[in-house]
Structure 1
């Protein structure tokens, strides 16, 4: 059914693609200059979670951490809980000294949970994270190639690669910490993005069956109408999940704030890329295919 909407997604897509390219360019420049702010999951370091028996004076805790002289660290505080992440992998003697000093100077009833990641483990986790994302992309290509066609598959992969790069660039620009929950967030984003994309692609394929495509303008109208016909469903889905992610970011603990923030970035990007990247790339590939001319039967006298 022909959409009565006036906004043309196809003819305005170049403007949005230009903005996307500029944002990615800035992010990739930052990524090349400063890299990512890796947490201890991907770089050697020590994470110390301290459960305390009382509320602590934060100035006193920071002074204590500075006096330990273990190098660069990050510190977050919760209700009767302190989390310290050292860039330096503590030795067993340093760990024992840290615990003894904290018990003597800060809270005698505190308990500790210490996790140490060395360089080899950090590199292995980086490799496994990249391998997991690569396998996910390959699986998506195979699935879409079987269910649809190769043009749909290539367009969808380009879309989810954009989503992943967008989130990575945002974390690079704002120097947010990248850890294992970040990788989980990116994989989740890929799942939501491909779901939105498949909905639009399915409508495009359905409309193709009944459309009489004679010119490239007909293809433009078909894609534009298909997007409008699925737009309400896509917006409702994204808003529902975004509300949950925002609530996690606002009310959740420190350990999931970066996960939820990555989800917020990725969900917005996924909804955008399904419309302005995936469908437009499929249209570009489709236009490279010659339009089949319908043979006209000669009229009988």
Structure 2
């Protein structure tokens, strides 16, 4: 019950986090990788060569901005879209640095394909969010008192925004100060966070629905905030244990999974942590606050009609 009792504090914390994320996204924005902007990617096995040697050789050929990112045994070079002859020249120059230095792969994505991928990623996120809201509205349509079924969907939408904006805001900061880019895996991670987040929230809301149903069958008049508080108490252990075990696995993936999955795991860690917080400290308190707002509005309406 302490979560419902101090709901204003917990909802305010979420509001600050959301506001900070929106500001970070507005000021710096996300730094798109070549998946979205188009460009060339060259993965190099370092061997005996140093980062400085590889950078110097590449920058002699490519005058535009070159971004190097470390991998387990070398670097990934990201730059604008390169012509085939320029790519061949870069490969030759790199392999000439040292006998142990080699080019592992070269990938090129055109700007049109990058724009198409960005559009499809945005559509995927919107469709998932819309599908979740529709599902919740249908699942809770019989629960119309003391709050309408659509309110559950609205609160869930706010929770989803909370859980997506926070990792996006963190990556906006990392992109501005650490050069971290977002690629297709970032979108996949956000979609995963959406599914995980709604699952946690639905568990609590479903328990609220069941408790309301039991009260109605037993003709028990219990304040809505008590019902929500009791439902939270019944689901604390499940929510916390599930989130902790998931985060432990993701931490293992982040530290030992290699550079290819590092950013993916980081998005999931932030998103799962945000989802664990929102399902307990944001969604349910917000539901109670909206119910109180509706009750106050109804009371004011009755006074005016008398």
TM-score of Structure 1 vs Structure 2, range by shorter chain: 0.7 to 0.9
Partner residue, 1:74: 67
Q: Is the 8 A contact 2:166 2:271 kept in 1?
A: yes
Partner residue, 2:205: 201
In the alignment, does 2:123 pair up with 1:131?
Answer: yes
After the TM superposition, list the runs of 4 or more consecutive aligned residues in structure 1 that deviate by more than 6 angstroms: none
**3-state SS in 2 of match to 1:172:** helix
Q: Whole-Å Cα distance in 1 between the matches of residues 121 and 78 of structure 2? A: 21
Q: Whole-Å Cα distance in 2 between the matches of residues 78 and 133 of structure 1? A: 29
Partner residue, 1:90: 82
- The alpha-carbon deviation at position 64 of structure 1 amounts to 2.3
**3-state SS in 2 of match to 1:71:** coil
Which residue of 238, 243, 259 corresponds with 1:238? Answer: 243
1:139-184 per-position Cα deviation (integer Å, ceiling 9, x unaligned): 1012111212322222112111111111111111222321111111
Partner residue, 1:165: 165
**3-state SS in 2 of match to 1:76:** strand
Partner residue, 1:188: 192
1:229-253 per-position Cα deviation (integer Å, ceiling 9, x unaligned): 1000000100011001111111121
Partner residue, 2:143: none
Whichever structure has more helix as a proportion of its residues is 2
Q: Whole-Å Cα distance in 2 between the matches of residues 213 and 187 of structure 1? A: 40
Q: Whole-Å Cα distance in 1 between the matches of residues 63 and 261 of structure 2? A: 26
**3-state SS in 1 of match to 2:34:** coil
Partner residue, 1:142: 134
Query: Normalised by the size of structure 2, how large is the TM-score?
Result: 0.85
Q: Is the 8 A contact 1:213 1:219 kept in 2?
A: no
In the alignment, does 2:214 pair up with 1:220?
Answer: no
Q: Whole-Å Cα distance in 2 between the matches of residues 107 and 67 of structure 1? A: 20
Partner residue, 1:265: 270
Q: Whole-Å Cα distance in 2 between the matches of residues 273 and 213 of structure 1? A: 29
Q: 1:109 to 1:29 in 2, by over 3 A?
A: closer
List alignment gaps of at least 5 residues for structure 2.
141-148, 300-306
Q: Is the 8 A contact 2:72 2:259 kept in 1?
A: no
Moved more, 281-290 or 244-253: 281-290
Q: Is the 8 A contact 1:61 1:106 kept in 2?
A: no
- The alpha-carbon deviation at position 197 of structure 1 amounts to 0.6
Partner residue, 2:283: 278
Q: Is the 8 A contact 2:94 2:101 kept in 1?
A: no
